[in-house]
Amino acid sequence: MKSGYEGCLRLMGIMARYPQRNLSKLGKAEYIKPYLLRNIKVETPNQVWAIDITYIAMAKGFMYLTAIIDIHSRFVVGWALHNTLEADNCLQVLQIAIETYGKPKLVNSDQGSQFTCAKWVNYLQKEKIGISMDGKGRALDNVFIERFWRTLKQDYVYMHPATNGTELFKGLRTFIHYYNNKKTHQGIERKRPIDLYQQAA
């Protein structure tokens, strides 16, 4: 009876809003770095970027979204969709963001295996970019990108479930452009991320 009821809800497009995958599989302990943001006052663009991965469900199947947000301005400096959780995917998003907007002084992530591996840590160290990682079980350490995930999913993903990856990509591109360039944010005094980012960029 329960499975039939749930099947009817699924057909009607009614679904619970909760995380569908645990993406925080730990990597190697030797690459775990301390959380460095606790006593830092973030005052300029490119001072601190935060990167994370989230699960995006579609009508059939799912994809993983990686995004990087500038903490000072809440401007999304990079993002990409993938169908795997390879570390190379995250590194590529970071490299493209750096090519486009320049280097941040510090990048914060969780302790997931994509970030606690030789490729990620060695690249940031080579580029002289500081490495910060959330404490284990401390979701609030990366609160700014968590807020972005919540806004993205509540305002777009749940309201417009994509039928395939191409449709999802186009929809995310439109929403992120709106988020960066048109939406005002309460946390930055009702300003637009693009305005704060460009003030000192």
DSSP per residue, 119-162: HHHHHHHHTT-EEEEPPTT-GGGGHHHHHHHHHHIIIIITTS--
- Whole-angstrom CA distances from 80 to 1, 51, 59, 77, 92 are 40, 11, 19, 11, 9
Give me the pLDDT at residue 126, please: 98
Each residue's pLDDT tens digit, 8-47: 444 444 444 444 455 555 667 899 999 999 888 999 999 9
Give the model's pLDDT for residue 187: 84
Given a contact cutoff of 8 angstroms between Cβ atoms, the answer to whether 120 and 31 are in contact is yes
pLDDT digits (tens, 9 = 90+) for 88-139: 999 999 999 999 999 999 999 999 999 999 999 999 999 999 999 987 655 5
Among 108, 102, 145, CA closest to 127 = 102
Indicate if the pLDDT at residue 1 is higher than 70: no
| Interatomic CA distance for residues 81 and 99, integer angstroms | 19
Q: Pull the structure tokens for residue 108.
A: 């914060």
Q: Give the separation between CA 58 and CA 198, rounded to whole angstroms.
A: 34
